[in-house]
């Protein structure tokens, strides 16, 4: 499949069990591990208080070379923030980067001033607190990343992204399920280890702008092809986050199915069994992976080909299947699978017949309704409490994942085909030449909110707009 030299290294390592690298340190396929946790320093119940620092760091992303990165608290991905519904979150943020940045809490329903949008950058050397309370019913998998004017793509590519898990007081899934966070973020390095961010006037730079920047290194929690162990019969809960600038993942474990139990804004009403699942940029999925393999056997989590491109700029290797995670069954005797509730939670459907407006958003390459973003222009105005239908029409031959800040919505239909079940989303892929309709209610938090394509180069080019929710 992929014969890049770094992969050959791993193949060797699997056949010889242990390889001693030039440095003398043992190396081999890394064991899967969740990103580090960000510990709260608060002793007050219901308060999560943390310090988050963005700073340059030097890490080894690819075995054998070191890379100058930007990191949150020294790691790529940054540490995982965990809190409960109803918690007050206080983040003391310090910007030790040589440039301005923000921290955007992707998908979280919070006051606009805490959103980390490009309107309020933290200057180089500056600091600020982000303070917000997590809404009831918002339990789910979120993430955080910079949202700097025209620099979101490069800052994320340099390593700034992390998971944010909001837990429910009464999670319907058994707490005994081993939980894994999988942050999918591809990258591209130069031979000397530097992050490959070509000038936009070079052919590769132009391609990165057009398609969004993809890389040949498919990192999962900053690791290449880690080995995740599972016991036969065990059920694992996976929270998958697509933090990639442009790559869309069509995930599958050949020989197994997933139980799809949740999306951006948390769990569904009922699990849905699927053979594969597409995770577009910034989307999250919660999956139950059931250890249906025999003791001692192995499997692979793969990224199957997904054609989101226009033919003229489709990358050469777009149609290869890539391995993301090795799944190794332990030799232990099978366990009895955990029993799962039939109904996970109730999700009240937003009533589209109450909509006071239906708005059309036409997506073209780099533009929404023919316009690039202007920080001083409001594109859409609505009122607090309004329910609206947003019709997102992709007029071009490339997929564009559409994201709205601050408010979770429900998808009504794709090209007129009704969504089979209700779920909360803050991003939805709009495939080439398709139309997606969603319904959203602006329950609270007046202010100016962004909506945009989450292919980061498109976002940085201004494929964004501003929604003003008036009190």
Footprint of ligand C2O on this chain (CB under 6 A)?
Answer: 104, 106, 145, 147, 282, 403, 405, 450, 452, 454
Minimum distance, C-beta of residue 280 to ligand C2O, in the bound complex (Å) = 12
Which of 145/247 has CB closer to ligand C2O? 145
Burial of 142-167, coded b for 16+ CB within 10 Å and e otherwise, reads bbbbbbbeebbbbbbbbbbbbbbbbe
Minimum distance, C-beta of residue 249 to ligand C2O, in the bound complex (Å) = 16
Neighbours of 217 (CB within 10 A): 15
Neighbours of 358 (CB within 10 A): 12
Report CA torsion sign: 263, 80, 181, 19.
positive
Residue with tokens 């980061």: 456
Minimum distance, C-beta of residue 341 to Cu ion, in the bound complex (Å) = 31
Which of 211/244 has CB closer to ligand C2O? 244
- The binder of 147, among ligand C2O, Cu ion, none, by C-beta within 5 to 8 A per type, is ligand C2O
Which positions ≥6 away from 38 have C-beta within 8 Å?
50, 52, 73, 78, 79, 80, 81, 82, 162
Among 256-264, 289-297, 403-411, 434-442, the segment contacting Cu ion (CB under 5 A) = 403-411
Cα dist. 362→35, 93, 358, 434, 439 in Å? 38, 36, 13, 11, 17
Pairing of strands 258-263, 284-290: antiparallel
- The binder of 452, among ligand C2O, Cu ion, none, by C-beta within 5 to 8 A per type, is ligand C2O
Which of 109/237 has CB closer to Cu ion? 109
Q: State yes or no: residue 405 binds Cu ion (CB under 5 A).
A: yes
Minimum distance, C-beta of residue 285 to ligand C2O, in the bound complex (Å) = 16
Q: State yes or no: residue 454 binds Cu ion (CB under 5 A).
A: no
Which of 252/455 has CB closer to ligand C2O? 455
| Nearest-5° Cα angle at 273, 270 to 275 | 155
Minimum distance, C-beta of residue 387 to Cu ion, in the bound complex (Å) = 21
x/- map, 74-113, Cu ion, by CB under 5 A: --------------------------------x-------
Pairing of strands 81-84, 162-167: parallel
- The binder of 450, among Cu ion, ligand C2O, none, by C-beta within 5 to 8 A per type, is ligand C2O
| Nearest-5° Cα angle at 417, 359 to 244 | 70
Minimum distance, C-beta of residue 156 to ligand C2O, in the bound complex (Å) = 9
- The binder of 308, among ligand C2O, Cu ion, none, by C-beta within 5 to 8 A per type, is none
Q: Closest residue (Cβ) to ligand C2O?
A: 106
Which positions ≥6 away from 90 have C-beta within 8 Å?
42, 47, 48, 49, 50, 129, 130, 131
Helices (H) and strands (E) in the chain, counts: 4, 33
Site residues for Cu ion, window 355-374 (CB under 5 A)?
A: none
Minimum distance, C-beta of residue 106 to ligand C2O, in the bound complex (Å) = 4
DSSP code at position 18:
-
Token pair for 459: 């976002």
Q: Report the interface residues with Cu ion, using CB under 5 A.
A: 106, 400, 405, 453, 455, 458
């Amino acid at each position: 499949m992929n014969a890049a030299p770094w992969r050959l290294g791993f193949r060797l390592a699997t056949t010889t069990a242990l390889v001693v690298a030039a440095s003398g340190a043992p190396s081999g396929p890394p064991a899967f591990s969740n990103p580090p946790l960000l510990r709260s320093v608060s002793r007050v119940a219901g308060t999560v208080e943390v310090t988050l620092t963005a700073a340059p760091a030097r890490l080894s992303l690819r075995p054998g070379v070191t890379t100058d990165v930007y990191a949150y608290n020294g790691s790529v991905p940054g540490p995982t923030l965990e809190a409960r519904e109803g918690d007050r979150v206080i983040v003391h943020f310090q910007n030790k980067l040589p440039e301005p940045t923000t921290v955007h809490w992707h998908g979280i329903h919070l006051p606009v001033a805490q959103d980390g949008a490009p309107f309020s950058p933290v200057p180089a050397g500056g600091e600020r607190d982000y303070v917000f309370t997590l809404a009831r019913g918002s339990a789910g998998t979120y993430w955080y990343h910079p949202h700097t004017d025209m620099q979101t793509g490069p800052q994320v590519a340099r390593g700034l992204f992390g998971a944010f898990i909001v837990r429910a007081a009464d999670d319907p899934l058994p707490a005994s399920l081993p939980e894994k966070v999988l942050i999918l973020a591809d990258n591209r390095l130069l031979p000397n280890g530097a992050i490959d961010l070509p000038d936009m006037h070079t052919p590769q730079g132009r391609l990165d702008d057009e398609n969004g920047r993809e890389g040949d290194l498919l990192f999962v929690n900053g690791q290449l092809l880690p080995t995740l162990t599972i016991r036969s019969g065990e059920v694992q809960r996976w929270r998958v986050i697509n933090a990639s600038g442009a790559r869309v993942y069509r995930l599958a474990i050949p020989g197994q199915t997933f139980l799809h139990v949740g999306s951006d804004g948390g769990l569904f009403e009922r699990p849905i069994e699927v053979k594969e699942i597409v995770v577009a940029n910034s989307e999250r999925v919660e999956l139950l992976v059931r250890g249906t393999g025999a003791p001692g056997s192995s499997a692979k989590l793969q990224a199957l080909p997904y054609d989101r491109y226009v033919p003229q700029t489709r990358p050469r290797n777009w149609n290869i299947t890539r391995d993301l995670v090795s799944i190794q069954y332990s030799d232990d005797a099978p366990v009895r699978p955990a029993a799962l509730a039939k109904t996970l939670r109730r999700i009240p459907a937003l009533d589209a017949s109450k909509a006071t407006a239906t708005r059309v958003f036409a997506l073209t390459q780099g533009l929404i309704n023919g316009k690039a973003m202007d920080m001083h222009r409001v594109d859409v105005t609505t009122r607090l409490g309004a329910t609206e239908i947003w019709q997102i029409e992709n007029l071009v031959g490339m997929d564009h994942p559409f994201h709205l800040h601050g408010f979770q919505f429900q998808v009504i239909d794709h090209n007129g085909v009704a969504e089979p079940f209700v779920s909360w989303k803050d991003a939805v892929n709009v495939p080439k030449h398709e139309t997606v309709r969603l319904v959203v209610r602006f329950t609270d938090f007046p202010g100016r909110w962004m909506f945009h394509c989450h292919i980061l180069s498109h976002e940085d080019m201004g494929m964004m707009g501003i929604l003003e929710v008036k009190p």
